[in-house]
Amino acid sequence: MPVVSSKTEMQSNLYRPNLGRKIPLLLAFLVLALTIFAVIVQPGGEFFSYVWRVTMPVVSAIVILALLLVARPHLKISKEELIVVNMFNRRHLKWSQILAVRFAKDAPWASLDLADGTRLNLMAVQNSDGQRARMLAVELANRCSE
């Protein structure tokens, strides 16, 4: 029984966007499947075949990597710190470093006002997730004020 509760606690401390993760992963899989299909069934022709077989997988790989970067953002929440993972960077923040959580209705994602005077976007807390994201923003704001 304790293993299940600790696993549940671990999962509740990891927050990933809903649509902002599922859609890019689905599109990456679709690009991969279409690329494999196209390479297998493409028509003959010496020049076309060579150019097609080299450039199509390279372009597809670039698109897939870009989609995987879009699907990367997430938050890890613990009692001591907040780990923010955006597309290109990862930040470890102590709760004392966070002054405020901002999440405007028309903003694409939430942001943090930090003690060093900067603002950090939380790409994992997306407006497209609706009430789920708003509840997380309130929870983060409550933890900052403690």
Percent of the chain with pLDDT over 90: 53
Q: Which residues contact 106 (CB under 8 A, 6 or more apart)?
A: 127
Q: Which residue spans within the chain are E strands per DSSP?
A: 14-15, 74-77, 81-85, 90-94, 98-102, 109-114, 119-126
123 in any annotated domain: yes
Instruction: For residues 124 and 97, state if they share a domain.
Output: yes
8 in any annotated domain: no
5 in any annotated domain: no
Backbone torsions φ then ψ of 142, nearest 5 degrees: -65, -40
Q: What is the pTM of this model?
A: 0.76
Instruction: For residues 100 and 136, state if they share a domain.
Output: yes
How would you class 122 by CB atoms within 10 Å of its CB: exposed for 0-12, middle for 13-18, buried for 19 or more?
Answer: buried
Tens digits of residue pLDDT in 124-143: 999 888 899 999 999 998 88
Q: Which residues contact 52 (CB under 8 A, 6 or more apart)?
A: 38, 39, 42
130 in any annotated domain: yes
Which residues span the domain enclosing 56? Answer: 18-70
Residue numbers of the chain with a pLDDT score lower than 50:
1-11
Instruction: For residues 59 and 79, state if they share a domain.
Output: no
Instruction: For residues 95 and 65, state if they share a domain.
Output: no
Per-residue model confidence (pLDDT) at position 8: 37
- Stated length of the chain: 146
Per-residue model confidence (pLDDT) at position 120: 94
Per-residue model confidence (pLDDT) at position 49: 67
In whole angstroms, what is the distance from residue 7 CA to residue 3 CA? 6
46 in any annotated domain: yes
Instruction: For residues 65 and 97, state if they share a domain.
Output: no
Per-residue model confidence (pLDDT) at position 134: 92
- DSSP code, position 23: H
Per-residue model confidence (pLDDT) at position 1: 30
Instruction: For residues 47 and 87, state if they share a domain.
Output: no
Per-residue model confidence (pLDDT) at position 44: 62
Instruction: For residues 29 and 88, state if they share a domain.
Output: no
Instruction: For residues 78 and 140, state if they share a domain.
Output: yes
Q: How many domains does the chain have?
A: 2
10 in any annotated domain: no
- DSSP code, position 124: E
Given 70, 91, 108, which residue is the final one in a domain? 70
How would you class 82 by CB atoms within 10 Å of its CB: exposed for 0-12, middle for 13-18, buried for 19 or more?
Answer: buried
Per-residue model confidence (pLDDT) at position 72: 94
